[in-house]
Amino acid sequence: MKKKRLGLSLSLLLTAGMLLGGCGQAKEDKAAEEGKGNGFSVAMVTDVGGIDDKSFNQSAWEGLQKFGEENGLKKGKGGYDYLQSQSDADYATNLNKLVRSKFDLIFGIGFLMTDAITEIADQKPNNKFAIVDSVVEKPNVASIIFKEHEGSFLVGVVAGLTTKTNKVGFVGGMEIPLIEKFESGFLAGVKAVNPNATVEVQYAGAFDKADKGKAIASSMYASGIDVIYHAAGATGNGVFSEAIDLKKQDPNKEIWVIGVDRDQYEEGKIPGTDKSVTLTSMVKRVDVAVYDLATKTKNGNFPGGQAVEYGLKEDGVGIAPSTDNLSQDVLKAVEEWKQKIINGEVKVPKTREEYKEFEATLKK
């Protein structure tokens, strides 16, 4: 009898344990599912610029936050998150951390992430990745690129209509196909509205040589150029520095800088005043692209193996919201040319060869 009672007690204890364990597991499963927001999670790895770089990384995070909040996700594992890289040695490590955390879509922000995304995508063929501003031809990688030539055309329109000397400058970082898109689109925009203007093009040979940018700008401004568009990364800081120095020497001197990638109005601020030498900036809406690609993937339309381009039509490029230094006539012209490009009436060149063809049509 005692043995039977003992056996019954053990059975009851085991059953209760199983029930409690099941309840606990059910709660964990439910919590995990709620945290994942309908079963989809997304994260990103920054390059060395960091999450508050006021450029690519920050913009990408803003897009990811918007996606997460609109889809009921929570920040962290199972929702939306980011890992910040302190050096290029962190790229692959951070990507792997997010893979192990089972995020459904993982972004690498910036072309510096190309090698790391390529490596990890090969190692993890069942995971989905995306890269911004580069192309990785892997079936599990979606590449986000921009029509920089379209945005550059619009700031070219601004430069062509603003210049008083009919002399405009372009400062590029490195002479590579990507920057050639900026150059070609800009030249086309200038010439479309001001055929009499000349555009001097110079390359610094680097994206991190502010002193070289300052020297080039000094030479250009001295030659009578009054508007310079830079597509030179940190080298462009030197262009701003030179323009600010010249304005401090002679506040009446009419010279301008056109920024790139983000709104660079603040970079052009003249100390002790509320004025800026920044005429406008050509912005790339990384936030729009990240939000859009995350939405596509969540809806089962991951464009693996494809390069998805974002231009004026997709609100992927354009001019900066800071318009203090632009007249209403210039803004009106920008909007008119923007619509022509979106409607297909104007095909903006993205190479020097295409620019030559474009220029030839203007002379007819």
Q: What is the pLDDT of residue 182?
A: 96
Tens-digit pLDDT profile for residues 163-173: 999 999 999 99
Please state, in angstroms and rounded to a whole number, the distance separating the CA atoms of residues 278 and 104.
41
Indicate the pLDDT class of residue 38, thresholds 50, 70 and 90: low
Indicate the pLDDT class of residue 14, thresholds 50, 70 and 90: very low
Tens-digit pLDDT profile for residues 250-282: 999 999 999 998 899 999 999 999 999 999 999
Global pTM reads 0.81
Q: Is the pLDDT at 28 greater than 80, yes or no?
A: no
Region 184-201 average pLDDT? 98
Q: What is the pLDDT of residue 55?
A: 75
Lowest mean pLDDT among 43-52, 62-71, 142-151, 328-337: 43-52
CATH class entry, domain 42-146: alpha beta
Q: How far is CA 158 from its chain centroid?
A: 22
Please state, in angstroms and rounded to a whole number, the distance separating the CA atoms of residues 119 and 110.
15
State which fold the 148-283+327-362 domain adopts. Answer: Rossmann fold (3.40.50)
Region 59-70 average pLDDT? 95
Residues of the chain with CATH 3.40.50.2300: 42-146, 148-283+327-362
User: Dihedral, CA atoms, 10, 15, 17, 19, nearest 10 degrees?
Assistant: -170
**Closest C-alpha among 205, 187, 194, 196 to residue 348:** 187
